[in-house]
Structure 1
Amino acid sequence: MSDLKRPKAVLLDRDGVINFDSPDYILAPEQWHAIPGSLEAIARLHGAGISVAIVSNQSGLGRGMMDQDTFNDIHAKMMLAIEQAGGFISHVAYCPHGPDDGCVCRKPLPGMVIDSLAALGLSGSPEEALFIGDSIRDVEAAFAAGVPAMLVQSGYGESEKILQRSKLLMPEISAFADLGAAVDAVLGGAAC
């Protein structure tokens, strides 16, 4: 990203960006483990006056793999860890639906991104936000909402293929090893 402008808000995917992901889902609080440096990265964004939101597909709920109370416990563990590191989350959007439920919120659709922009006061200026994710779904949702995006390669997908597919939508998209490196670029204005 050669002309990286400091965003007013950063929207983050959860699994694979903030915490380690699993192809078997994160279904209990004890399975939630922060990726090294991710909590501190969120704290640095907060310290720089940049609002942070989480935008995450959580189809384990809709598939009955966990109940709402367990999801809330996972969420509480994450929020506490973020706050203990000095970070703050201004808004959380999650989609509990499965891929065949026909909802309007599940990424790659932009519903949660649009809702998050509204919650953060950026409805009319999506270009003032930045979405950081680890999958093509994240990039597609950001693109559909008019939000610039970055990729991190800390998820479990094939990061090089994800990057190449993402460049078809956003030719200037950058990819970083993890959230800490992405936030370094955001705060330092570093070119990739």
Structure 2
Amino acid sequence: MGVCRMNHHRDSETPLASDHATTCTLPEDCGDAALLGRVYPFALVLRLRVLQVVCGISGAVMGTVAAIEERGDVNLGLGVPAGCATVLAAAVSIHTSRGFSGYQPAAASPRMRCARAALWCCACALHAALAVLAAAILSAGEASSTLTVLAGVELGITGVTAAAVLALLWIDCRYDPD
């Protein structure tokens, strides 16, 4: 089965190698990516997706704490839907990825790829709104100390999530031909 394999993945067809480099059995089996010297960084993508899931869960937890602190107001409680949307979008992105046995043609249907993009747009919009609310609370300085700390934490989580989204967007634009 002529596909690119990650050497540290134990497989009946692939021996365990001492380094973690990505190799191909034949250049034509790996497509244009191997010929251009650019192999899709699956391990990095998976790490960034896990970071997005962790940020989503953390954002949802902090949003819940903020909603309790604000006694039901929606302000920083917006972290709950933003975190849930991030976790869902990252899960769909992992599900529709090209797999970790090497670069493969797109496995996701156009409908699923459109749903993935819509979920990321929704998650990014919720995080942008949350960032504006958190920045407003921090700049006003009138909130309780607990609410100020929650605003700072949620702003940090939103920043890390945005950085991971931008990094993955850069990877997709650079390495993914479609």
Please say which structure displays the higher CA radius of gyration.
Answer: 2
Q: Which has the higher strand share?
A: 1
Higher relative contact order (CA 8 A, sep 6+): 1
- Whether TM-score is above 0.5 comes out as no
Where on the TM-score scale, by shorter chain, does this alignment land: which range? under 0.3
Q: Which has the higher helix share?
A: 2
